[in-house]
Structure 1
Amino acid sequence: MKKITLIWILFFLPYFVFANADTKSKEMCECLKKAKSSQAESDKKECLNLREKHVKALKKGSKQHEGYLKSLNQCEQELAGLPQVDPNLSTEEKTKLVCDCMKQATKQNRMGCFKLQSDYAKTISDSEEKKAFNLNSQSCGE
């Protein structure tokens, strides 16, 4: 009986662990949405406290924490009005998206465009292609 219980726990444990990270990222995303719409300092502080609590619970650097950050990154991009990063686009398409973002963004929102640029750069494995992308996408923001 103990072996069956142990097998059951080992089989379903990853599901519960990752579901926990997913639940926490959704909870954090809702907090960020609320803080963005209310603009109240107390709501922003609540999100900071919640994030700290989540990082402790998920053990920074763990697989669960990485999944949490990935889901949270998607939420933050959505809140900033940035398109989701599509690694399957050509380098030219990626450059155009970054340049369009730079042209349309106000000074306050340009940080989101730099993040978009960074995220797209991470999707390019060839070092020469990545270098060309960075140069081309940086020059369009000037």
Structure 2
Amino acid sequence: MNKELFFVNEEMCKLLTGNQGSVDSIPVPDLYSSHEEADSRIILHCMYASQQPTTEIVIVRSTDSDVFLLLLSFSDAISKLLIFDNGNKNNRMQLDINDLAATMSKRLRYAIISLHNFTGCDSTSRFAGKG
């Protein structure tokens, strides 16, 4: 069975394909990025995956709320069914991002991610001390 794995190292991305003990490495220039945060690079990878003719569903597995909010905000740019797989072990759930996004205006989704950047990102957890 063929296996595929995208390997990211700094700005470069390569597709590693394996079949019967051999591995090939193919550069993927469309996924080269200078983003340092993996959260935002996930969006780039989702957009790329959704443009591939064999892709039916894009599933992102993460426990990070940043990833969830980014997926919600950028769901319009991902043209396939988008699922957020969250949790761990026996306590997991899958959320249909497309359905959730359809219940909100684009303006609201952008406002949520903007507010999250101000109050809930990794370096700032509250309003205290904000002028």
Do they fold alike, i.e. is TM over 0.5? no
After TM superposition, the score normalised by the length of structure 1 is 0.27
After TM superposition, the score normalised by the length of structure 2 is 0.29
Q: Which has the higher contact order (CA 8 A, sep 6+)?
A: 1
**Bigger proportion of residues as helix:** 1
**Bigger proportion of residues as strand:** 2
